[in-house]
Amino acid sequence: MTDEGRDLLRNLRVVAGAFVLPILAIVAIGFFSVDSRVQAVVWAAALGVMAAACALNAWRCGRLHCYFTAPFLFVMAAAALLLGFGPLGRIYAAWNVLGLVVIVGAVVLTWLPERIFGRYRRRAGSG
């Protein structure tokens, strides 16, 4: 099977479950007045699901941007926990800043590496 054929991002169900639903959870929690710890757990879980999907996809097919987005999203999940369980979690703007960093970082790390180096990482012995 080719790298492209093993790419999880080609499966709409996987994309919906691993990326769309977590993003919707992050957006939805913003409409509720919840404790910062609840918000942190939702954000960390959502970002963790997306990070795990990226890590799995990097391993499965060598999709280049996944090598960058997986660790970035894991770090952002940890940042959400630190924010939610720390003193800054009560500051509304702090969540907005974290959200902006996640959006800009994810977009740049998804687009830029593949624009420069191509979509898939060459594997040893793959010609």
DSSP 8-state class, residue 8: G
The domain limits of the chain are: 4-117
Please say whether the beta carbons of 68 and 83 come within 8 A: no
Question: What pLDDT is recorded for position 120?
Answer: 85
pTM score: 0.87
Question: What are the pLDDT digits (tens) for 58-76?
Answer: 888 878 888 999 999 999 9
